[in-house]
Amino acid sequence: MIYLLLILLLGGGLAWASERWNPQAPRWVALGVVGFALLYLTVAVARLPVEQFSLLPAASQPDTWLAHTRIDWMPRFGIHFELALDGLSLTLVALTLLLGLIALSASWAEIEQRTGFFQANLLWSLTGVVGVFMALDLFLFFVFYEVMLVPMYLLIAIWGHEARSYASMKFFIFTQASGLLMLVSIVVLAYQHALQTGSFSFSYFDLLDHRLDPALAFWVMLGFFLAFTVKLPGFPFHTWLPDAHTQAPTAGSVLLAGILLKTGAYGLLRFAIPLFPEAAAEFAPVAMALGAAGIIYGAVLAFAQSDFKRLVAYSSVSHMGFILLGLYAWNSLAVQGAIVQMVAHGLSTAALFMIAGSLQQRMHTRDMGRMGGLWLNAPRMGACALFFTMASLGLPGLGNFVAEFLVLLGLFQVAPRMAVIAAVGLVTGAVYSLIMLQRSFQGPGDPERAVPDYGRRELATMLLMVALLIWLGVNPQPLLELTQPTVDSLLPGATP
């Protein structure tokens, strides 16, 4: 696993350096690096015995995980370089690398300035995210959490669109402030552990069994919750997202929507809830209310937008509401739904952002008022937009439906009222998705308009995502089985 991180980290440096001898080289280097990382992961996973995948990853037994590494870092404070991989992490790491490839494809023709540094930032950002998904030492987790932030800030601030400095600053301040809250919570947690056992520990395994005083646990939990909800982003902490997405270059949007948001969901699932089960249960109604509010609010605002990317960004807010609901419903169905939503939303929204990026590149505008009837000029692009719009509104047979259905089904078992409110989101989701399609690709058009259709590279990328979404929608069972042990081990009542 360390090698995986090293490949990406050093690859970033290499990509930067390679710009010196050829401005085209960084793209190929980055492609090679991500491809190699993906290959490495595949080979490593394929060599694991099959039984390993059905073991419950228990806190006390590192060998029940798919992979586990622990190196002393600052032993005096109980800080270790501890990485571990279970089904959930594996899924998300694979998604990260895959979307890394897709982001590379999206930036292939878009970025002409300082390609080396761009690709380096892209790879470093991936490093951070992969680290976040694997780190099981809270301090290390925090480090990776911050590491992925800075390259993303640079991506937006340097290669973004017209209002990039405002957007990147807003992004940075929101996530940084929330990260600090998390740091405070982590330190309090470790300090409490030290008070009770006499030694510091930031290890997830040690802290998982550790029980805090309920009042304190609530506040610490709130720190984690805020940090991850800002990242997710949940209502009402979402306002950085539309600005960041709108201004980011396409590859940045793809990464941001596809995986950076998922670190928030992952954090909630891995840390915020299991570390404080009682406090989280107490807090669940509030979290669920925020999730439901986010679904509706995001949908209404998405409808109100005239900017293609902003619309997709608000639709993300709406979709993330489902994740929040699913996680806090905290039963097997809903949590699995939330996990599928992470993957499916990552793919469908990334694709929509790529379409937005292609449109911007071709038409130099994101304003849907100036689009319309693009199907005439670019039918392949239109077909892709149609497909991903349908995916995003939760059409059965595609990944998002499985996710939303499972979330709502699980949610209904514990909070029927919330499920009813969230089901309204199904209708509003259709409203904004279809109006987006209408205003951009359908309607009267101008056949003379010079909007080139998709070429081979873009079409191949799109078809890859189409295939994945259909696979996820028609046969999600392999994914569900991969993550099931993790979910079982996290849920209360599971045998450790």
Partner 1 sequence: MTDLLWLIPALPLASATLLILGSQWLGPRWVATLGVGSVGAAGLCVLFTTLQWQGAPLQQTLWTWIQVGELSAGVSFYVDGLTLVMMSVITGVGFLIHLYSAEFMAGDTSYARYFAYLNLFVAAMLTLVMADNLLLLFFGWEGVGACSYLLVGFWHFDAANGAAARKAFVVTRVGDAAMALGLFLLFREFGTLDIQALSAAANARWEVGNPTAVLATALLLGGAVGKSAQLPLHTWLPDAMAGPTPVSALIHAATMVTAGVYLVARTHELFLLAPPTLTAVAVIGLFTLLLAAFTALCQHDIKRILAWSTISQIGYMFLGLGVGAWSASIFHLMTHAFFKALLFLAAGAVIHCLHHEHDIRNMGGLRSRLPVVFLSFLIGAAALSALPLTSGFFSKDLIVLAAFEAPGIGPWLWAGAVLGAFLTALYSFRLVFVVFFGRANTLPDRQPGPAMATPLSVLCVFSLAGGWLGIPVANVFPAEGEGHPALWVEAVSIGIPLLGLALAYALFLGRRWDASGLVESPLGQAFYRFWHAGWRVDGLYDRLWVKPFLVLTVLLKSEPVDRLYGAVVALCQLCYEGLSRSQSGRLRQYATVMAAGVIVLLGVVWRAAGG
Judged by CB under 8 A, the residue of 236, 285, 455, 492 near partner 1 is: 236
DSSP-derived letter for residue 441 is T
Which range, of 143-151, 180-188, 301-309, 358-366, touches partner 1 by CB under 8 A? 301-309
* Contact status: 459 vs partner 1 (CB under 8 A): no
- CA pair distance 393, 348, nearest whole angstrom: 10
- For 288-301, the DSSP string reads HHHHHHHHHHHHHH
Instruction: Compute CA 457 distance to the chain's CA centroid, rounded to the nearest angstrom.
Output: 24
Residue 467 within binding range of partner 1, rule CB under 8 A: no
User: Could you give the CA distance from residue 79 to residue 92 in angstroms, rounded to a whole number?
Assistant: 24
Among 139, 142, 297, 322, binds partner 1 (CB under 8 A): 297
| Spatial separation of the C-alpha atoms in residues 257 and 372, rounded to whole Å | 25
Do 25 and 151 touch, CB atoms closer than 8 A?
Answer: no
Q: How far is the CB of 87 from partner 1 (least distance, A)?
A: 14
Closest CA to 71 of 60, 83, 62, 81: 81
Work out which of 7, 187, 288, 402 binds partner 1, going by CB under 8 A.
402
Instruction: Please choose, from the candidates 46, 55, 131, the residue with its C-alpha nearest in 3D space to the C-alpha of residue 97.
Output: 131
Contact between 239 and partner 1 by CB under 8 A: the answer reads yes
φ, ψ (nearest 5 deg) of residue 367: -80, 120
139 vs 237, which CB is nearer to partner 1? 237
Q: Which residues on adjacent β-strands are paired with residue 81?
A: 71
If binding is defined by CB under 8 A, does position 351 make contact with partner 1? Answer: no
Cβ distance to partner 1 smaller for residue 397 or 496: 397
What are the tokens at 382? 């239109």
**What CA–CA distances, in Å, run from 392 to 32, 181, 236, 349, 368?**
31, 32, 22, 7, 18
409: contact with partner 1 by CB under 8 A: yes
Q: Which is nearer to partner 1, 2 or 173 (CB)?
A: 173
> Judged by CB under 8 A, does residue 238 bind partner 1?
yes
Question: Is 176 among the residues that bind partner 1 (CB under 8 A)?
Answer: no
Q: Note whether 235 binds partner 1 by CB under 8 A.
A: yes
CB 339 within 8 A of CB 88: yes
Q: Closest distance between partner 1 and the C-beta of residue 329, in Å?
A: 12
Interatomic CA distance for residues 403 and 409, integer angstroms: 10
Judged by beta carbon, residue 17 or residue 426, the one nearer partner 1 is 426
CB of 412 to partner 1, least distance (A): 4
How many other β-carbons are positioned within 10 Å of the β-carbon of residue 49? 7
* Alpha helices (runs of H) in 364-398, residue ranges in sequence order: 374-377, 379-392
Alpha-carbon gap, residue 137 to 188, rounded angstroms: 15
One of 476, 482, 486, 490 touching partner 1 (CB under 8 A): 476
Nearer to partner 1, 27 or 310 (CB): 310
Among 145, 171, 200, 375, binds partner 1 (CB under 8 A): 375
**What token pair was written down for 438?**
């209408």
* Residue 427 found at the interface with partner 1 (CB under 8 A): yes
**C-beta of 347: minimal distance to partner 1 in Å?**
18
Choices 205-213, 217-225, 265-273, 412-420 (CB under 8 A): range interacting with partner 1: 412-420
Contacts of 101 (CB under 8 A, 6+ apart): 31, 34, 35, 38
Amino acid identity, residue 301? L
With contacts defined by CB under 8 A, name the span among 27-35, 70-78, 217-225, 302-310 that binds partner 1. 302-310
Q: Is 214 in the site for partner 1 (CB under 8 A)?
A: no
Task: Using CB under 8 A, pick the residue from 168, 247, 349, 442 that binds partner 1.
Answer: 442
Q: Does 291 bind partner 1 (CB under 8 A)?
A: no
The count of chain residues that interact with partner 1, using the rule CB under 8 A, is 55
Min separation Cβ 375 and partner 1, Å: 7
Q: Is 475 in the site for partner 1 (CB under 8 A)?
A: yes
Cα gap 415→394, rounded to integer Å: 21
Q: Where are the alpha helices (DSSP H) in 148-197?
A: 149-159, 164-197
Q: Which residues bind partner 1 (CB under 8 A)?
A: 235-236, 238-239, 242, 297, 300-301, 303-305, 331-333, 336, 373, 375-376, 383, 386, 390, 395-397, 401-402, 405-406, 408-410, 412-413, 416, 419-420, 423-424, 426-427, 430-431, 434-435, 438, 442-445, 474-477, 480, 484
